[in-house]
Amino acid sequence: MFGLFGLWRTFDSVVFYLTPIVGLGGPVGNGLVLWNLGFHIKKGPFSIYLLHLAAADFLFLSCPVGFSVAQAALGAQDTLYFVLTFLWFAVGLWLLAAFSVERCLSDLFPACYQGCRPRHASAVLCALVWTPTLPALPLPANACGLLRNSACPLVCLRYHVASVTWFLVLARVAWTAGVVLFVWVTCCSTRPRPRLYGIVLGALLLLFFCGLPSVFYWSLQPLLNFLLPMFSPLATLLACVNSSSKPLIYSGLGRQPGKREPLRSVLRRALGEGAELGARGQSLPMGLL
């Protein structure tokens, strides 16, 4: 019994200090993506999603780092941490689902997509993701007593069921779009594989292995805290890996083997060239994309 307790304490300490270490690299990588996509790479329909996704990941990763430092210094936990991480994770999941669906539709129906898609659809969708999410999530947090001492259990339960259901729907939509895109590009399409195809699949694999544990934890928090107390820090660590690894995917897909290039050139090749073609009305699904 005491051996298991000591093992748990060691595991908790390792995960606790590993989380800010992983999280420290994530804001740097996402900050570089934000800087280059925001100011140095011409934005197209898909790179706009990646710009907003990098912003959501940057904000999400700032929470574990900031609150871990505060907890280590003050020895106290703040319920506001749960609210903020849930908020930025929700925005990122929204954006990933929208990006996956649009990337899938652009390959399945290229002519209809180019002819019917409004020019500023990506920017409008991103704004629609941020605008209702920011005021909506504090409402269930307030009802559940995370922002004040009193709570309304029945209202909290309703909000909880609705938010968890919506999370699972978004994850399923993103995964369905990714699977359809994978099958289409692998088995049906005769075009070269688009570069953003790799970004979609990489981001969805990260979501499945590193992001969904956080959804499960938020869905079953009281039960998991009682049965598996080590699940909470592990889910937080995996969520940090999920948000920190996307810039590595962009860099890996944009880098040419055997060549040393500035990061801006690598990101421009991975994120900018296809987006510029799409913005000019040329064929989005071709190789540069």
pLDDT, tens digit only, all 289 positions of the chain: 445 556 667 777 777 778 777 777 888 889 989 988 888 787 778 889 999 999 999 999 887 667 766 666 665 555 667 777 888 888 999 999 999 998 888 888 888 877 788 888 888 999 988 887 777 666 776 667 666 666 677 777 777 788 788 888 888 899 899 899 888 888 877 777 766 788 888 999 998 889 888 888 877 777 777 777 778 888 888 888 999 999 989 888 877 777 777 777 887 777 754 444 444 444 333 333 3
**252 within 8 A of 205, measured Cβ to Cβ:** no
Q: Which helix (H) or strand (E) holds 209?
A: none
> What is the per-residue pLDDT for 30?
92
What is the structure's pLDDT at 185?
83
Note whether residue 103 is domain-resident: yes
Q: Provide the domain limits for residue 160.
A: 10-270
pTM of the model: 0.83
Domain count, the chain: 1
Q: What is the pLDDT of residue 288?
A: 34
Hey, what are 35's tokens? 């800087």
Question: Angle CA(112)–CA(115)–CA(118) in degrees, nearest 5?
Answer: 115
Report if residue 284 sits inside a domain. Answer: no
| pLDDT confidence of residue 286 | 31
Specify the pLDDT at position 282.
40
| Cβ within 8 Å of residue 180, ≥6 positions away | 104, 108
Report whether 50 contacts 202 (CB < 8 A).
no
In a domain, 4, yes or no: no
Nearest of 182, 197, 184, 48 to residue 109 by alpha carbon:
184
Tokens describing residue 111: 């002519």
183 domain residue, yes or no:
yes
Give the per-residue pLDDT at 98.
Answer: 92
Query: For residue 1, is it within any domain?
Result: no
For residue 278, being part of any structural domain is answered with no
Q: What is the CATH number of the domain that holds 263?
A: 1.20.1070.10
Q: Note whether residue 283 is domain-resident.
A: no
DSSP string, 17-31: HHHHHHHHHHHHHHH
In a domain, 60, yes or no: yes
pLDDT the model gives residue 6: 62
Give yes or no for a contact between 51 and 100, defined as CB atoms under 8 angstroms apart: no
